[in-house]
Structure 1
Amino acid sequence: MNDDVRLRAIRAKDARFDGWFIVAVRTTRIYCRPSCPARTPHPKNVTFLPSAAAAQAAGYRACKRCRPDASPGSPEWSTRADLVARAMRLIADGVVDREGVNGLAARLGYSTRQIERQVRAQLGAGPLALARAQRAQTARTLVETTGLPLTEVAYAAGFGSVRAFNKMVREVFGLTPGELRRRAPGHRSTRDTVQHDGWQQLRLRLPFRRPLCPDNLFGHLAATAVPGVEEWRAGAYRRTLRLPHGPGVVAVKARADHIQARLWLTDLRDLTTAVNRCRHLLDLDADPQAIDEQLGADPVLAAMVRAAPGRRVPRTTDGEEFAVRLVLGQQISTRAARTHAGRLADAYGTPIDDPDGGLSRLFPPPEVLVDATDESLAMPQSRRRTVRALCTALAQQEIDLSPGADWATTRDRLLRLPGVGPWTVEGVAMRVQGDPDAFLATDLGVRRALDALHLPGSAAGRAEITGRWSPWRAYAVQHLWAMGDHEINRIPTGDTPS
């Protein structure tokens, strides 16, 4: 992407480029998203920056009209596997706020200096500045959507003092926290913040790039929902969240131009992490235009892409949980896999008091499941051995499924476990790590779809054709699955069966 492309994007006010770059106007010292509705600035007054953090570090304030800090995230960081992308995913998950830059570097296995240099070279700002920009957005969300006293907002957003919070808000938004709250749409209603036995409720709008096809996205999550941990109710997918400072509950529902999210948190410091994990769950930072353009140009997939543009990959909020559930579901039906996972959750999950009722527990972590009894693992002995081997490796941190994990290393270490093959490894790559090119070649639904398309029966012949879909083969899988008449492909009409 060069400056000519960027200039054309801002003249067209093209929302597809929101999150890809920042438009900074030198004469006004304001930065915007490419689709800002304000008058297009003269090219000689424009500077293009790679991130909001870089704009803030250069002394620019966020536009009050287009709210560039609230645009979808850059698709780059969810689809790349290099060091900077891994660092960005960890920063988004709140690691710098919790562990500092030294903690970020330790997780990535590099020196602090190396991390600083590489991140700054590509983002125009270092990890601390990126975390600060994220903290600013968290503060804005709390100011505008809750009735919390501003002193509580300051500490919940991760600021060490109210003074630092006030200074940051004025620098980034050109307003005091009080002015920011008064300007918020329906700000009076924010005084009526809902609290329940230590839980705090927030209502958020999660942006995405259009189009978005919700059918397989929500259909898959609802069809595989683990009783007590997840449910489909009143047109929304709900689930419990294991967060750094305490449990949470989220309900998400698709709207025409955003995802409506309702979060219940026991500690507001978890807001940034919870939002990031929900965005990952629903693949909201994807670039559907780029994905559909390539897949739709292939004669095998063209009709499917035209019929359902904007398919996303249903992912997860907890990598370790999903890996265990994937092993539980090896070679059995979706319903049977739900039953096995529900039995483990009921026996070993941490109970919670869902403020809205319906959910009852967090899925048990691997260190607890290491000692699960044979009675609770009612499955063949070989699969019990695989579950225990996976849980042991996760508990001892021999396998990393965090946002900053190295994809190749994770694949290699998973394959070393007894009973883990390509189907499980590619499932983890696709839905935990977010690898856009993960492909479940041995999956029954994929094989049936390829047969129905009359593709060559040989592995080599199929590999040649499916290779044309790279680097978006995970999205091709969603289209192939949708060829079958399975409940994962449609949004439920009623609530999740208990």
Structure 2
Amino acid sequence: MNTFHEDAERCVRIVQAKDERFDGFFITAVLTTKIYCRPSCPVVPPKPQNMRFYPSAAAAAANGFRACKRCRPNAAPGSPEWNVRADLVSRAVRLIADGVVDRDGVPGLASRLGYSVRQVERHLMAEVGAGPLALARMQRAQSARVLIEGTHLPFAEIAMASGFSSVRAFNETVREVFAMSPGELRGAPRPRAGIRGAARPGPGPDQSPASINLKLPFRQPFCPDNLFGHLVATAVPGVEEWRDGAYRCAFRLPSGHAIAALRPLPDHIACQLWLTDPSDLTAAISRCRRLLDLDADPVAIDDQLSRDEALAPLVAKTPGRRVPRIIEPEQFAVRAVLGQQVSTAAARTHAARLVLAHGEPIHDPAGGLTHLFPTPAALADLDPQSLAMPRTRREALLGLIRALNSGDLTLDIGSDWNATREQLYALPGFGPWTVESIAMRALGDPDAFIPGDLGVRQAAERLGLPTGAGPLTARAQAWRPWRSYAVQHLWGTSDHAINRMPV
């Protein structure tokens, strides 16, 4: 349960230190000004007796407080709490951040989770201090601010794109959350965590969508080497590329598709988005953050792993490693099967062939991306004889495609990690390496572990750790719940391209 905000003495110390590492863990509300801030707000800290602490911005807003114009608490990194756990509340928060409530309503959210609306609302109120509608409203407000400050779209179009039912609701929410009108926001000076500017949208059916530029904040320390190195080394041609210092990828969204260019900088990720439908902005930002694991808590992770004498030097050398994830979980499952017992280069070759034969062509206005990765539906009639791979791997791929198309298997950010593992193990040709790789990179489980991976075994031998799957798993119990991050450090002991930032 998220109880960080309940320790008032600790929260006061953090606010007085203006420690940005804790942005997103809790919200500070000030009784005298009725303003709420992130812990690192640069203004003079209020008196402790005037502070109140909440688990989320939505909870502070529900209690009558407004967002600080200086520190923009709504733009802080998300709470790492929701990425560590696989319970009802954590799954609900991840789905709300992805825009599920705006698309399907609270009943749709509850259905995805397998609970009643009343149960979902009760659990969210108990832990987050706000219900699903309040959380979604706050998400809409932040999406609206991105479009207000980062584009020249008319406010009526922004209202619809942000998920508001009317321009009136849009105006009222923006004023209530930010204490400024939409017009004032558009004319306001850009804060340090704001938008970097964008071209005027307005594409016709044959025109390229205009881009939106924004900053994606993260907690320090941050190691981009393995993160971007892995994404680029395993990139599928046509779907992903490294260009001009940025990792670029094409992916599907609820109302269309998008292209993202993500460039690592010292204090943020510069994100440039091309959206075929502006209403997908919330989902696009959420998925890019998950791709780069930007809501992780590197201080807690590094502290835990450093307690192991074998891992301590690795953590000290490259603190803040993240887990490279993927935007489309079903895509990664297909790629994981293609990569069984072959090199990274061979896996890319197999995936590129599928893309050319079954992917959806797209136009890239600023680079060389050509396709979206094929959906399970597009692969439903895949000819097994066209796959240059062993029979057992072909059967595993076809079994996965059937399970995804039938609905027997669902892979998304709201999945129950352990229940999904059981479903994956039931498929032919799915062993621990494939299942744990999917859990780590597609589902986002921070505690996934693959002791049978060749790179992990070689690293274990170099470090004097047990190399057998059983003994190494027993040793790794001390690394929980961060074994996915331990794997990143183990992989980092090799000279493989996944550990190097592209040049």
| Structure 1 and Structure 2 fold alike (TM over 0.5) | yes
Give TM class, smaller chain. over 0.9
Q: Of 58, 63, 78, which residue of structure 2 is paired with 1:53?
A: 58
User: Contact 1:147–1:190 at 8 Å: present in 2 too?
Assistant: no
For structure 2, list consecutive stretches of 5 or more residues without a partner in the other structure.
Answer: none
Report Cα offsets for 1:424-462 as digits up to 9, x if no partner.
Answer: 110011111111111111100000100111223444432
Q: Of 26, 34, 37, which residue of structure 2 is paired with 1:21?
A: 26
Report Cα offsets for 1:312-361 as digits up to 9, x if no partner.
Answer: 00000000000000000000000000000000011001111111130011
Q: Of 322, 327, 342, which residue of structure 2 is paired with 1:332?
A: 342
Correspondence list, 1:337-352, <5 A: 337-352=347-362
Deviation at 1:193, TM superposition (A): 2.3
Quote the Cα distance in structure 1 between the aligned partners of 2:469 and 2:252.
40
Instruction: Give SS of 2:133's match.
Output: helix
| Other-structure match for 1:193 | 200
| Other-structure match for 2:158 | 153
Instruction: Give SS of 1:199's match.
Output: coil
Q: Of 434, 441, 446, which residue of structure 1 is paired with 2:444?
A: 434
Report Cα offsets for 1:63-117 as digits up to 9, x if no partner.
Answer: 0010000000000111101110010111011100000000000011110000000
Q: Of 295, 302, 323, which residue of structure 2 is paired with 1:292?
A: 302
| Other-structure match for 1:450 | 460
Identity, % of aligned pairs? 59
Question: How many residue pairs were aligned?
Answer: 493
* 4+ aligned runs moved over 3 Å, structure 1: 186-192, 456-461
User: Contact 1:94–1:131 at 8 Å: present in 2 too?
Assistant: yes
Deviation at 1:311, TM superposition (A): 0.3
| Other-structure match for 1:389 | 399
User: Contact 1:469–1:476 at 8 Å: present in 2 too?
Assistant: yes
Instruction: Give SS of 1:440's match.
Output: coil
User: Contact 1:243–1:274 at 8 Å: present in 2 too?
Assistant: yes
Report Cα offsets for 1:171-208 as digits up to 9, x if no partner.
Answer: 11111100011114299995842555151310010000
Work out whether 1:37 is the aligned partner of 2:47: no
Q: Amino acid of the residue matched to residue 422 of structure 1? A: P
Work out whether 1:133 is the aligned partner of 2:138: yes
Say which is worse superposed, 369-378 or 49-58, in terms of deviation: 369-378
Work out whether 1:182 is the aligned partner of 2:182: no
Correspondence list, 1:75-474, <5 A: 75-185=80-190, 190=197, 192-193=199-200, 197-474=207-484
Deviation at 1:17, TM superposition (A): 1.1
Deviation at 1:5, TM superposition (A): 0.7
For structure 1, list consecutive stretches of 5 or more residues without a partner in the other structure.
Answer: 494-498
Q: Of 68, 71, 75, which residue of structure 2 is paired with 1:63?
A: 68
Deviation at 1:136, TM superposition (A): 0.5
Say which is worse superposed, 378-387 or 328-337, in terms of deviation: 378-387
Quote the Cα distance in structure 2 between the aligned partners of 1:229 and 1:190.
26
Quote the Cα distance in structure 2 between the aligned partners of 1:462 and 1:252.
35
In the superposition, the TM-score normalised over structure 1's length comes to 0.97
Q: 1:190 to 1:480 in 2, by over 3 A?
A: closer
User: Contact 1:222–1:492 at 8 Å: present in 2 too?
Assistant: yes
Q: 1:98 to 1:437 in 2, by over 3 A?
A: same
Say which is worse superposed, 393-402 or 123-132, in terms of deviation: 393-402
Quote the Cα distance in structure 2 between the aligned partners of 1:342 and 1:19.
39
Deviation at 1:464, TM superposition (A): 2.7
Q: Amino acid of the residue matched to residue 449 of structure 2? A: F
Q: 1:460 to 1:402 in 2, by over 3 A?
A: closer
Instruction: Give SS of 1:369's match.
Output: coil
| Other-structure match for 1:496 | none
Quote the Cα distance in structure 1 between the aligned partners of 2:196 and 2:78.
28
Q: 1:337 to 1:459 in 2, by over 3 A?
A: closer
Instruction: Give SS of 1:272's match.
Output: helix
Q: Amino acid of the residue matched to residue 285 of structure 1? A: D
Deviation at 1:42, TM superposition (A): 1.2
Quote the Cα distance in structure 2 between the aligned partners of 1:407 and 1:278.
20
